[in-house]
Amino acid sequence: MAETKEKEPLFSSKNKKLLSEPMVRNNPITVQVLGICSALAITVKLEPSLVMAISVIAIMGTANLIISLMRSLIPPRIRIIVMLTVIASLVVLVDEILAAFLYDVSKQLSVFVGLIITNCIIMGRLEAFASSNKPWPSFLDGIGNAAGYGWILIIVGFFRELFGSGEIFGYPVFEKIGLYQTGYVDNGLMILPPAALFIVGIIIWVHRSRHPELIDIS
């Protein structure tokens, strides 16, 4: 794909597209249906969602870069194990960093940091893009997809924290504006796991009604 042009600027329109495409049009969660597991489980509050989003962006950019650099060295038969090993080593790094600097968040995320390894977005993009493209576009593709994943995570986390516990980043918004005096009660359902499914379902609904070409006809 990048073979034809010898020298293209770092942010050519094609490369910019790699970054912007996964944000909306080809979003990993709402369109490609990848990486749902972690998107749902850790979005009870905004802070872990944000930490998770940043971790995935870091891991995915690096993993795409590494695999793309090694793409001609990896024998196709064992590529899955090689990819998993690369991802797992990066996840171990992130896990240790989180445990050292953000201990509370890392306790909240518990096994879900480890589960970034099996986050299908990373495997999916490594397989579909990084193993056949040059390092720089692969890096951008990784960042773009992870960011597309991240912003959905943050939206879900925002709504769940706001309506579930009336806070944003732990700051009691609803209490400050005096909503509780009017008889408002926090929606307990929002803290429970199914709420995440409803919110993602609604995001998909809104997204597909704005992009009718994505509608599933089957």
Partner 1 sequence: MENLFDIFIKAIFVENMIFAYFLGMCSYLAVSKTVETSTGLGLAVIFVLGITVPVDYLINEYLLADGALSWLGPEFANIDLSFLSYIMFIAVIASMVQLVEMVIEKFSPSLYANLGIFLPLIAVNCSILGGSLFMQERDYNNIAEATTFGLGSGVGWFLAIVAIAAIREKIRYSNVPAPLRGLGITFIITGLMGIAFMAFMGIEL
Contact positions vs partner 1 (CB under 8 A):
30, 33-38, 40-41, 80-81, 84-85, 88-89, 91-92, 95-96, 110-111, 114-115, 117-120, 123, 192-198, 200-201, 204-209, 212, 215-218
Q: How far is the CB of 100 from partner 1 (least distance, A)?
A: 12
Q: How far is the CB of 208 from partner 1 (least distance, A)?
A: 4
**Which CB sits closer to partner 1, 140 or 204?**
204
**Phi, psi (5° rounding) for residue 168?**
-130, 120
Short-list 82, 83, 107, CA closest to 95: 107
Tell me how far apart the alpha carbons of residues 39 and 173 are, in angstroms, rounded to a whole number.
Answer: 24
Please report, for residues 43, 52, 81, 198, the alpha-carbon distance to residue 112 in angstroms, rounded to integers and kept in the order given.
11, 9, 20, 21
Q: How far is the CB of 120 from partner 1 (least distance, A)?
A: 4
**Which CB sits closer to partner 1, 80 or 177?**
80
**Which CB sits closer to partner 1, 38 or 133?**
38
Short-list 138, 68, 149, 140, CA closest to 116: 149
Asked if 51 and 109 touch (Cβ cutoff 8 Å), the reply is yes
Q: How far is the CB of 71 from partner 1 (least distance, A)?
A: 19
**Which CB sits closer to partner 1, 82 or 173?**
82
